[in-house]
């Protein structure tokens, strides 16, 4: 028997699907939408059984396949279809398969963005209800203190750079940033030191990171050191299990051999998935100044309502992002640990030896020849390969080590690479 709040939610979803059936059918097709509405009505009426659950699973898989082949309004409609199917399936047995239900709701966030009818807020509520009622979750975080992480000074030299990323003695005014400082990289030392993420809600604490998410959550992780490698892959993983691989709190799962792959949560909107983390950072007002890059006359900021994309980067010592460039301005904030950063200007592009790049972590996979990732290991030593890079790029490249609380700014088109010198937790803000 389905718990009352789950039953009420299924009835709400079924009613909304029925109200919007014509609109959704126009994008997803009448037959597929009719199947989803029929299944939703059956579940809302209290129907159960393995055959019905298998049909919901089939609809989830079908929607995922359609998402990978769609764009525009059709993609948005299939994301809503996928989200609603995940909600219905999770609520059907949340009492008996709670962790599986929560993981399915997480997939709706990760894969589809929980699209449609305030579904994201609904999923937050459903996950919390399931955690509290069936998994004994608690939200108390009083008394948690930041953990200290030290840096070995021997890791500070990057041979593929000739200069140091400049840092400003004090934060510029908004006007000065827009008119003077938005065209070149700079570092603001300690700019984020007062954020809750470094103080009362420390992201260096395994205990806090467990509590802020609650039990049963899953996150997307990269498996392998470098997404340019053939053996690199991606998978969804239990959040608490992943945390044990990060090295935070001096606790790390030891592999049986040295060939065990690195796990890295990279370029994921973790702060949307775990919204309490968003309250732990302070988005700089600079991101709302609408600067215009010199190198891109037709610049387009991110297309969401905020014109801002916030991604998290969390992993153990040695996690690595190869040299690449992005189409947005970036405020890159170091919250936990230390990270070496390498930068080179857009004028370096002809000597960066671009390669094919893997597709998005949540799409159908495969290679997409974007030309924005370099074949050069900028943290390695010259071995005679890539002579154009060493002759033409290195004289203009810069590097620095980011410490907890540091914020790095760089404009769109700048080549950049990152290497974690300790367990590291960073936040990028594209605008």
Concatenating the DSSP letter of every residue in 400-422 gives EEE-TT-EEEE-TT-EEEEEESS
In angstroms, rounded to a whole number, what is the distance separating the alpha carbons of residues 298 and 176?
22
Considering the domain architecture, whether residues 125 and 171 belong to the same structural domain is answered as: no
Considering the domain architecture, whether residues 87 and 166 belong to the same structural domain is answered as: no
Q: Tens digits of per-residue pLDDT, 344-368?
A: 999 999 999 998 644 444 443 333 4
Considering the domain architecture, whether residues 359 and 325 belong to the same structural domain is answered as: yes
Q: Tens digits of per-residue pLDDT, 205-261?
A: 999 999 999 999 999 999 998 889 888 999 999 999 999 999 998 766 654 455 678
Considering the domain architecture, whether residues 337 and 400 belong to the same structural domain is answered as: yes
Q: Tens digits of per-residue pLDDT, 172-187?
A: 999 999 999 999 999 9
Confidence grade of residue 370 (pLDDT, cut at 50, 70, 90): low
Q: What does DSSP say about strands 263-268 and 415-420: parallel, antiparallel, or unpaired?
A: unpaired
Burial class (CB in 10 A: 0-12, 13-18, 19+), 258: exposed
Q: Are 137 and 128 in contact (CB under 8 A)?
A: yes
Phi, psi of 263 (to 5 degrees): -110, 130
Residue 222 resides in a domain? yes
What's the CATH number where 242 sits? 2.60.120.650
Considering the domain architecture, whether residues 45 and 166 belong to the same structural domain is answered as: no
Q: Give the range of the structural domain holding residue 329, as residue numbers without chain letter.
A: 153-430
Residue 143 resides in a domain? no
Considering the domain architecture, whether residues 27 and 112 belong to the same structural domain is answered as: yes
Q: What is the dihedral of CA 84, 88, 94, 96, to 10 degrees?
A: -140
Q: pTM for this one? A: 0.92
The 8-class DSSP code of residue 61 comes to H
Of 109, 135, 161, the one marking the end of a domain is 135
In angstroms, rounded to a whole number, what is the distance separating the alpha carbons of residues 234 and 218?
13
Considering the domain architecture, whether residues 165 and 98 belong to the same structural domain is answered as: no
């Amino acid at each position: 028997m389905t718990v009352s709040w789950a039953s009420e939610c299924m009835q709400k979803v079924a009613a909304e699907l029925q109200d919007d059936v014509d609109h959704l059918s126009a994008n997803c097709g009448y037959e597929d939408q009719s199947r989803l509405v029929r299944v939703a009505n059956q579940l809302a009426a209290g129907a159960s059984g393995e055959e019905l659950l298998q049909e919901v699973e089939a609809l989830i898989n079908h929607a995922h396949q359609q998402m990978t082949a769609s764009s525009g309004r059709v993609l948005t409609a299939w994301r809503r279809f996928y989200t609603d199917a995940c909600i219905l399936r999770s609520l059907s047995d949340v009492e008996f398969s709670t962790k599986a239900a929560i993981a399915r709701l997480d997939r709706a966030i990760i894969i589809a963005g929980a699209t449609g009818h305030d579904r994201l807020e609904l999923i937050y509520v459903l996950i919390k209800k399931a955690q509290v009622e069936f998994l004994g979750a608690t939200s108390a975080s009083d008394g948690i203190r930041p953990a200290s992480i030290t840096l070995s000074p021997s890791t500070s030299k990057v041979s593929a750079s000739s200069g140091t990323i400049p840092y400003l003695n004090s934060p510029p005014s908004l006007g000065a940033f827009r008119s003077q400082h938005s065209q070149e990289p700079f570092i603001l030392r300690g700019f984020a030191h007062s954020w809750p993420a470094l103080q009362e809600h420390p992201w260096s604490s395994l205990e806090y990171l467990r509590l802020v998410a609650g039990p049963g959550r899953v996150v997307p992780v990269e498996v392998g050191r470098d997404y340019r490698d053939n053996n690199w892959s991606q998978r969804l993983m239990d959040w608490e299990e992943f945390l044990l691989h990060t090295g935070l709190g001096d606790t790390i799962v030891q592999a049986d051999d040295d060939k065990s792959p690195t796990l890295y949560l990279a370029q994921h909107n973790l702060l949307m998935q775990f919204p309490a983390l968003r309250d732990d950072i302070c988005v700089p007002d600079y991101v709302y100044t609408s600067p215009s890059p010199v190198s891109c006359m037709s610049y387009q900021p991110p297309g969401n309502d905020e014109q801002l994309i916030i991604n998290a980067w969390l992993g153990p010592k040695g996690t690595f992002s190869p040299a690449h460039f992005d189409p947005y301005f970036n405020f890159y904030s170091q919250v936990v640990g230390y990270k070496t950063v390498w930068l080179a200007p857009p004028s370096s592009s002809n000597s960066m030896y671009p390669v094919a790049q893997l597709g998005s972590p949540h799409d159908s996979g495969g290679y997409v020849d974007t030309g924005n990732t370099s074949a050069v290991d900028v943290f390695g030593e010259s071995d005679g390969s890539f002579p154009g890079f060493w002759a033409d790029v290195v004289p203009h490249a810069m590097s620095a080590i980011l410490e907890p609380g540091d914020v790095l700014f760089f404009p769109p088109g700048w080549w950049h690479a990152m290497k974690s010198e300790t367990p590291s937790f960073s936040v990028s803000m594209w605008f």
